[in-house]
Amino acid sequence: MTFIYQRSYCGPLQGIILDWAGTTIDYGSQAPAMVFVEVFQRQGVGITLEEAHRPMGKAKWDHILDITHMAAVAQRWQAVHGRLPVKEDVDAMYEAFIPLQVKALVDYAFLIPGTKEAVAEFRQRGLKVGSNTGYNREMVNLLLAAAAKQDYIPDSTVCADDVPAGRPAPWMALQNAREMGVYPMEAVVKVDDTLPGLEAGLNAGMWTIGVAKTGNELGLNKSEVDQLPVKTLQTLLKQAYQRMYRAGVHYVVDGIWDVPVVLDDINRRLAKGERP
């Protein structure tokens, strides 16, 4: 008789990797969305906030490229410029994007409520805390400085230009794990409010927790969320949860404050030898 033996990790979680905008800082992921709208407007092409939010989580050059590939946007571009957008257009918009984003980051660099408390609990559990983002190094350094003033200092921070390819490739998440010294990958959780960010965690072999209420899937700031009628908010959240679950995410929560309870369930599953 022939057998295949499979080794299973049954220890506890060792690390957690958090996204930035929409997950830990900048409720509703407002800073990048507003700048994408401005960059296209400077080209004479209007885009909606929904279109600006749709590729969120990717490296910013890739994000701009994805917007130009949207059929409705390409049609508007052709109406204005007499042709479809090309790589040189994306390059030019990205160059314009960088200083605008750097300026906007400071205006939106406030921790999402519950972030400090959740991170404190992660550390109390003995977890290393990493972070990664679609921002480049210049941008993320500004976020790190702003977050440090609010007592949030990750153990490892990786950005899109630190690795060969940004999300949904797994390289940023794997680099976080390497810098934090945690393995195997099933001992790590990726928390993100964007589908590409969550897909990166899945591609890295990690557990994934989607953040629906405070992030890109709703795309609303806290004041806007608080002003929504209860039924409207419930409908929007249900749709966001469904989109994330359809993408293969293991868990979805409203905000980072709900993550600690999920970690208990993951540890229970790990103890039984389950894998992501």
The residues assigned a catalytic role are 19, 60
Nearest to 23 by CA among 128, 131, 127, 106: 131
Token representation of residue 198 = 């969550």
Q: 80 near 44, Cβ under 8 Å?
A: yes
Backbone angles phi, psi at 65, to 5 degrees: -60, -45
Measure the CA–CA gap between 170 and 35, rounded to whole angstroms: 26
Dihedral of alpha carbons 172, 178, 182, 185, sign: positive
Cα→Cα distances 192→53, 164, 168, Å: 14, 20, 12
